[in-house]
Structure 1
Amino acid sequence: MATCHEHYLGIVERCKDIVNMSFVEGRSEIHAQNHNFLNDLHEWLEVLKDRPEFELYNMAFKEYSQGLINISQGSYRQAYNSLRFFIEHSLAAVYFSFRELDLRLWMCGQQDIYWSTITDENNGIFSKSYFTAFSPPLIEESPLFLQLAKKLYRECSEYTHGNYVTAKILPPTLAFSDSSFRDWHEKAETASMLVVFSLCSRYFSFFGPDAKVRLETSIMEHIGHISFIRDSFQTPQEVF
């Protein structure tokens, strides 16, 4: 019979096997794409490092990294939990950026983060009044991203709350699952687009030239399909 130490060493070996399976048959490219988003998040932290809500972004972005670790080694439920945390806390930071009193109350343990408040259609970060104040050129995009945020959060929450449907999807033991691997990465890619859009809706109009140059690759990769964003990075043509 294995000792307690040997039991956990066996789990480590199994995780190593799952990591190896996560990086073969085209899966390496899938993981690398979302892994590279860590570089983008680092650039955003550098640009926002003097903001009061910086620490909340730092927490959220670290959890995205933890999600990549979880998905690579077969901790699928935990990976979805991390992705939910990343979405919720990133968007909470956006919300707190214009409600500093609530931010400071949260930092001293007197305020909670409420997803329903963040996504409130009248006062949240996708509301008409919010976009009128911070990002009028993106106001037409807000309903789509609101629905995207709600859908993604709900799907990740099924794993957080242990809904029965997730028990039928996830492996019953510590084992590799190609379908879970691919589904998580698809959701992570969507979450990246959502977070970059939310960051731009709040800060883009206040960025100076240096910040825009620094973040151009990240922004264009994730939301360059939006005409206002695309046009904002186009080099003005000389007039003859």
Structure 2
Amino acid sequence: MSQWSAENASSVEKAMLKLHRSCMDHIEQATRSNEPEINQVLHLEADLATWLGVLDSQPESQQLRSAHRDFGLAFYAAMSGLYRQAFSSLRSFLEVTAGATYLSALEFKRRQWVSGILDISWSSITSKEDGIYSAPFLKEFCPEATEEREEMLESLKQAYRRCSEYIHGNVSTSQMLPANISYREEIAKEWLSVAASALTATIHCLMVRYYKDLPEAGRGAVEGSLEEQFSHLISARQLLGLPLEERTS
């Protein structure tokens, strides 16, 4: 290696270590300042991991696990101060999870997606005519959720939309992002809030698509989570056999 190359490599190493120290400082401050919100997100992420275990034999499980890894990267980026990257990976998590769940009902298209022939679009996933919360889809997989489909679809779309605003340089979000790695409490808290919404919406999608097809052991593994997160919804109460008169508004 030439002297110039060695010096250049040393300069890059110093810059990377400085960046790493900034990320470490951010992690300490972010985790110390947001413990309740972090615990909520990690609790939901654990619920999602349970679902992925139950669905491990499904053809789309590889894509679901890939999306789960994207969420892990998003969480790390958010805690490290890489805010734009955190929202980008969170959006990828939403796209792949919802996309895999939607295409699980369309095996030919799912295979084309996996082989790279077909690109799945967010508008297709969320289409009111034939998407994951469309009346025809719910009629076949979870008619109990028909009355709440507008609410849950909007929740899914809002999480995706907020991530996109950070990714595409929306003026209001760009003004919030720091020029270097430094802790911004309002952004960290917003990411945690959007992440919680994304996880909740994702788990609801999984419930709608898969719950009725699960074996008894699989249902037992996820029922506690569903009751905790969705007992205010008619669909969950009906699926879990809970009395409807006890549901909350």
TM-score by shorter chain over 0.5: yes
Among candidates 2, 6, 27, match of residue 19 of structure 1 = 27
Q: Where does residue 188 of structure 1 map in the other structure?
A: 195
Deviation of 1:117 after TM superposition, in Å, equals: 0.6
Q: Which amino acid aligns with 1:78?
A: Q
Q: 8 Å contact 2:44–2:200 — kept in the other structure? A: no
Give the stretch that moved more between structures: 157-166 or 182-191: 157-166
Among candidates 205, 208, 228, match of residue 215 of structure 2 = 208
Q: 8 Å contact 2:63–2:96 — kept in the other structure? A: yes
Q: 8 Å contact 1:64–1:86 — kept in the other structure? A: yes
What TM-score, normalized to structure 2? 0.89
Q: 8 Å contact 1:38–1:65 — kept in the other structure? A: no
The 2-side partners of 1:147 and 1:130 are apart by 16
The 2-side partners of 1:179 and 1:13 are apart by 22
Q: Where does residue 228 of structure 1 map in the other structure?
A: 235
Q: 8 Å contact 2:71–2:89 — kept in the other structure? A: yes
The 2-side partners of 1:204 and 1:33 are apart by 23
Q: Which runs of 5+ in 1 are unaligned?
A: none
Q: 8 Å contact 2:145–2:234 — kept in the other structure? A: no
Question: How many residue pairs align between the two structures?
Answer: 235
Q: Where does residue 77 of structure 1 map in the other structure?
A: 84
Distance 1:234 1:127, change over 3 A: closer
Instruction: Give per-residue Cα distances to partners, 1:16-40, cap 9 Å, x unaligned.
Output: 1100001224x12211221233322
Q: Which amino acid aligns with 1:46?
A: G
> Greater share of helix residues, 1 or 2?
2
CA RMSD of aligned residues (A): 1.8
The 2-side partners of 1:208 and 1:51 are apart by 13
Give the stretch that moved more between structures: 105-114 or 161-170: 161-170
Instruction: Give per-residue Cα distances to partners, 1:122-177, cap 9 Å, x unaligned.
Output: 11111011111111111111111112222221111112222222210111211111
What TM-score, normalized to structure 1? 0.92
Q: Where does residue 46 of structure 1 map in the other structure?
A: 53
Q: How many percent of aligned residue pairs carry the same amino acid? A: 29
